[in-house]
A and B are shown apart, each in its own frame.
Chain A
Amino acid sequence: MNRINQKLKEDKKLLSIYFTAGYPNIDDTTSIIQDLEKNGVDMIEIGLPFSDPLADGPTIQDSSTKALKNGMTTDVLFTQLKDIRKTVNIPLIIMGYFNPMFQYGIEAFCKKCQEIGIDGLIIPDLPVDVYHEEYQAIFEKYGLINVFLITPQTSDDRIRYIDSISNGFIYMVSSASTTGTQSGFGNEQTSYFKRIGKMNLNNPQIIGFGISNNQTFTQATQYAKGAIIGSAFVKHVTNEGIDTIGKFVDSICN
Chain B
Amino acid sequence: MKLKVCGMKYQDNIQEVATLQPDYLGFIFYEQSARHFDAHRIPEISNTIKKTGVFVDADLDFVIKKISKHNLKAVQLHGNEAPEYCKQLRGKNIEIIKVFSIKNEFDFSVLKLYDDIVDYFLFDTKGKLPGGNGYVFDWTILNNYPSTIPFFLSGGIGLSQIDDINKFQKSEASKYCYALDVNSKFEIEPGLKNIEDLKKFKNNLTSKIMNYNVNEKGYYGEFGGAFIPEMLYPNVEELRQNYLKIMAEPDFKKEFNQLLKDYVGRPSPLYFAKRLSEKYNTKIYLKREDLNHTGAHKINNTIGQILMAQRLGKTRIIAETGAGQHGVATATVCALMGLECIVYMGEIDIARQAPNVARMKMLGARVVPALSGSRTLKDATNEAIRDWINNPVDTHYIIGSAIGPHPYPDMVTRFQAIVSEEIKWQLKEHEGRENPDYVVACIGGGSNAAGTYYHYLHEPDVGIIAVEAAGLGIESGESAATSVLGKEGIIHGCKTLLMQTNDGQITEPYSISAGLDYPGVGPMHAHLAKTGRAEFMSITDNDAMDAGLELSKLEGIIPAIETSHALAIFKYKTFRPEDVVVLNLSGRGDKDLQNYIDYFKI
Residues of chain A whose beta carbon lies under 8 Å from any beta carbon of chain B = 50-52, 54-55, 57-58, 61-62, 65, 68, 73-75, 97-104, 124-128, 130, 148-151, 153-155, 158, 173, 176-178, 181
Contacts and interface: CB of A to CB of B under 8 A. Distances in A.
Nearest to A75: B503
Given A127-B227, A176-B391, 13 more contacts: A52-B373, A52-B378, A52-B492, A54-B492, A55-B231, A100-B503, A103-B487, A149-B231, A151-B230, A153-B392, A177-B389, A178-B386, A178-B390
Interface in B472-523: 487, 489-493, 498, 500, 502-507
B392 A99 contact: no
Contacts of A173: 230-231
Contact of A74 (B382, B504, B507): B504
Contact of B372 (A61, A75, A100, A104): A61
A50 B228 contact: no
Contacts of A75: 503
A160 to B, nearest CB: 14
Contact of A99 (B231, B390, B489): B489
A52 B390 contact: no
A189 to B, nearest CB: 14
Q: Would you list the 6 A-B pairs with minimal beta carbon distance, nearest first?
A: A103-B504, A100-B504, A149-B230, A51-B505, A124-B229, A153-B234
Contacts, number: 110
A51 B502 contact: no
B373 A51 contact: yes
Interface of B: 225-231, 233-234, 372-373, 378, 382, 385-386, 389-393, 487, 489-493, 498, 500, 502-507
A239 B545 CA distance: 49
A182 to B, nearest CB: 10
Contacts of A61: 372-373
A73 B503 contact: yes
B533 to A, nearest CB: 25
A50 B418 CA distance: 38
A126 B227 contact: yes
Contacts of B390: 176-178, 181
A176 B390 CA distance: 5
28 contacts: A50-B504, A51-B373, A54-B382, A54-B385, A55-B229, A55-B231, A58-B372, A62-B372, A65-B373, A73-B503, A100-B504, A101-B504, A102-B490, A104-B504, A124-B229, A125-B227, A125-B229, A126-B227, A127-B228, A130-B225, A149-B229, A151-B230, A151-B234, A151-B392, A155-B234, A176-B231, A176-B390, A177-B231
A121 B115 CA distance: 38
Nearest to A53: B382
B382 A52 contact: yes
A122 B385 CA distance: 20
A127 B489 contact: no
A159 B582 CA distance: 50
Given A58-B372, A61-B372, A177-B389, A68 B229 contact: no
Interface centre among A55, A74, A126, by most chain B C-beta atoms within 10 angstroms, is A55
A88 to B, nearest CB: 26
Contacts of A102: 489-490, 504
Contacts of B229: 54-55, 124-125, 149
Contacts of B487: 103
A145 B89 CA distance: 54
Contacts of B391: 176
A58 B225 CA distance: 27
A181 B234 CA distance: 20
A176 B389 contact: yes
Given A103-B503, A155-B234, A52 B389 contact: no
Contacts of A73: 503
Contacts of B503: 73-75, 100, 103-104
B227 A50 contact: no
Given A57-B386, A99-B489, A176-B392, A51 B506 contact: yes
Contacts of A51: 373, 505-507
B500 A103 contact: yes
Contacts of B491: 52, 99
B386 A52 contact: no
A158 B391 CA distance: 20
Contacts of B382: 52, 54
A64 to B, nearest CB: 10
A124 B227 CA distance: 9
Given A55-B231, A68-B505, A127 B226 contact: yes
